[in-house]
Amino acid sequence: MIDIQTVRVHDALTQRRKAMQTLGAALVLGAIMWIPVLLPDWSGWTTPPLVVVPGLLALATMPFSTASSAYLIQGALFFGVT
């Protein structure tokens, strides 16, 4: 019985660690998207980041929210590709 409880705790810690890493990555990518708002004169915000950042955010949020990831993909296509 102790082995079973140990395995369950280990699995829960692994899932929590993965979720926190995903959340951290999503927060970093979301912060990157605020660069043009905070620095409107900066010319480094070109097409690739407008496609890559929302695309990576969509991949990060896909397991948790399909609607959010679909909105991010739509934003990447609308603002980045066009």
Residue-wise pLDDT for 28-81, tens only, equals 877 877 777 777 776 666 667 778 888 888 888 888 888 989 998 898 888 777
What was the pLDDT predicted at 24?
A: 86
Distances (CA, A) of 44 to 35, 77, 79: 9, 19, 15
Containing domain of residue 35, as a range? 2-81
Give 81: exposed, middle or buried? Use CB within 10 Å, 0-12, 13-18, 19+. Answer: exposed
Judge whether residue 7 has pLDDT over 60: no
Whether pTM > 0.75 for this model: the answer is: no
What was the pLDDT predicted at 4?
A: 56
How many structural domains does the chain have? 1
Judge whether residue 6 has pLDDT over 60: no
